[in-house]
């Protein structure tokens, strides 16, 4: 078994016993990247010499000491490119500082290693929107890995990384984890610092881990959480030891099954695997309870008003003046702005900027943006009411398995609906995890299915407890 295909837990045991060294792990991961990345397209860049230098100085007494972690390319790491999968930042931007999450990783002994491919500025659910390359699903190279953290998920599932960081605005950690067959955790909004994460939609974005096991996700969450004074949305709350949720039984826990999430239109195989997962949890002692989340049907439309509105404001800073792509064809200042943005941004980013600018414009703000904010409140209240009677909520992570590359290229609305079960969790700011729950056969190939487990605000502990119990069963 290669070191790159091992779990954090097993590698830490071997490191502490001095059976292997951090240098061994970095070299093994680098060899896997060298051999397979041309095929998978998971990494954009990687610096082996820098990682080896850090490995030689790794503090093995720390909980993640000596473990290399791949980083999504919208999280700043000192001295490394941070392109966000966009031509806009490809030419002349090198990160001058570490993001809050990177500082936390380093403090726990981990080694940031490699920049993972992603949909441009995290806008997409297939990683086909990257300006540089297409990432492929390790389970079937003709299919998408999901997105926007597609490179992060493909690297873990394809054993090109031990674990990675992603970001999740509407499902961008959980959905690719589900489609690639690994574990993806989105914490409560504010649990992990967003300082140094290039903003897409500031009220929705959250960093989280993509791992091979639930226990590894708990280990990374321990390292990443905590108040950061540089992020005003970072929560000053107690951080439990999430690894204590591992190995616990779930007898008596109430599992909410929203009737709006188990409807026609879901892929038959996905529906069957999720129902089997529910039966497995029931056999472990959990109590299924039917609940209602009545505003589910407005979740996608609400998201695609709020997120583009925030994106249009956040991406206004990329004007080709201070940093970013700068057009050489402009004759005056206005043309400079127009051409720099026209050349630097890809089609999906332009689509969302235009949509966001429209819903914020005079005469349309009340009709769209303000109404969407009210709908968001109703969605959050649906969850609050549901959690009065249940401990966690279960659903499919994605309504379908991974589709073929290019299948939805000319149908953005269908692509947006891929996140129908993950988007409400972001709108409500809740923690959610996707764990593998079997496979479905398509064209003779077994494709992974993800089970989504959603918890109360700041109750990642129970989410991990249920996810681990299911994984072990």
Query: What confidence tens digit (pLDDT) does each residue in 359-374 have?
Result: 999 889 999 999 999 9
Task: Tell me the HSE value of 39 on the side-chain side, using a 13 A CA sphere.
Answer: 14
Domains of the chain: 8-245 (3.90.1300.10)
Rama region for 349: left / alpha / beta (φ>0; ψ in -120 to 50; rest): alpha
The answer on pLDDT for 417 being more than 90 is: no
The answer to whether residues 210 and 164 touch, using CB atoms and an 8 Å cutoff, is yes
Averaged pLDDT, 12-38: 98
The answer to whether residues 86 and 101 touch, using CB atoms and an 8 Å cutoff, is no
Q: What angle do CA 15, 217, 4 make, to 5 degrees?
A: 45
Reported as type and span, the H/E element at residue 382 is helix 371-386
Catalytic residues: 72, 148, 172
pTM of the model: 0.97
Averaged pLDDT, 214-221: 98
Percentage, residues of the chain above pLDDT 90: 95
The answer on pLDDT for 448 being more than 90 is: yes
Query: What confidence tens digit (pLDDT) does each residue in 219-275 have?
Result: 999 999 999 999 999 999 999 999 999 999 999 999 999 999 988 889 999 999 999
The pLDDT value recorded for residue 29 is 98
The pLDDT value recorded for residue 214 is 98
| Confidence bin at 322 (pLDDT 50/70/90) | confident
The pLDDT value recorded for residue 391 is 98
Q: What angle do CA 254, 256, 260 make, to 5 degrees?
A: 170
The answer on pLDDT for 1 being more than 80 is: no
The answer on pLDDT for 426 being more than 90 is: yes
The answer on pLDDT for 320 being more than 90 is: no
Query: What confidence tens digit (pLDDT) does each residue in 449-469 have?
Result: 999 999 999 999 999 999 999
């Amino acid at each position: 078994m290669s070191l790159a295909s091992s779990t954090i837990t097993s590698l830490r045991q071997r490191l502490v016993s001095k059976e292997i060294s951090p240098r061994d792990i970095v070299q093994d991961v680098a060899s896997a990247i060298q051999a397979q990345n041309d095929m998978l397209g998971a990494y954009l860049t990687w610096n082996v010499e820098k990682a080896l230098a850090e490995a030689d100085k790794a503090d093995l007494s720390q909980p993640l000491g000596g473990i290399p972690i791949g980083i999504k390319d919208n999280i700043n790491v000192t001295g490394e490119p941070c392109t966000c999968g966009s031509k806009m930042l490809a030419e002349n931007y090198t990160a001058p500082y570490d993001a809050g999450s990177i500082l936390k990783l380093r403090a726990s002994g981990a080694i940031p290693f490699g920049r993972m491919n992603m949909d441009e500025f995290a806008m997409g659910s297939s990683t086909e929107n990257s300006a540089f390359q297409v990432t492929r699903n390790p389970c079937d190279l003709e299919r998408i890995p999901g997105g926007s953290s597609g490179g992060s998920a493909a690297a873990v599932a394809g054993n090109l990384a031990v674990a990675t960081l992603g970001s999740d605005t509407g499902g961008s950690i959980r959905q690719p984890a589900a489609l690639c067959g690994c574990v993806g955790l989105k914490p409560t909004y504010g649990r992990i610092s967003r300082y140094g994460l290039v903003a897409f939609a500031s009220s929705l974005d959250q960093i989280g881990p993509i791992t091979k096991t639930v226990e590894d996700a708990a280990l990374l969450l321990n390292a990443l959480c905590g108040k950061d004074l540089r992020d005003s949305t970072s929560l000053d709350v107690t951080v439990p030891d999430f690894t204590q949720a591992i190995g616990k039984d779930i007898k008596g826990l109430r599992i909410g099954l929203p009737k709006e999430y188990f409807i026609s239109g879901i892929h038959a195989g996905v529906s069957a695997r999720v129902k089997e997962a529910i039966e497995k949890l029931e056999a472990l002692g959990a109590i299924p309870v039917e609940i209602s989340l009545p505003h589910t049907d407005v979740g996608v439309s609400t998201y695609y008003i709020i997120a583009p509105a925030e994106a249009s404001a956040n991406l206004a800073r990329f004007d080709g003046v201070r940093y970013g792509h700068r057009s050489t064809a402009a004759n005056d200042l206005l043309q400079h702005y127009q051409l720099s943005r026209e050349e630097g941004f890809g089609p999906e980013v332009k689509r969302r900027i235009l949509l966001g600018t429209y819903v914020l414009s005079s005469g349309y703000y009340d009709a769209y943006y303000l109404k969407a904010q009210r709908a968001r409140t109703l969605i959050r209240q649906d969850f609050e009411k549901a959690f009065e009677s249940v401990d966690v909520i279960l659903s499919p992570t994605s309504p379908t398995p991974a589709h073929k590359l290019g299948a939805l290229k000319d149908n953005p609305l269908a692509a947006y609906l891929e996140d129908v079960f993950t988007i409400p969790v972001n709108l409500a700011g809740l923690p959610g995890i996707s764990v593998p729950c079997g496979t479905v056969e398509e064209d003779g190939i077994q494709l992974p299915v993800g089970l989504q487990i959603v918890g109360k605000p700041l109750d990642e502990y129970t989410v991990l407890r249920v996810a681990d119990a299911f994984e072990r069963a």
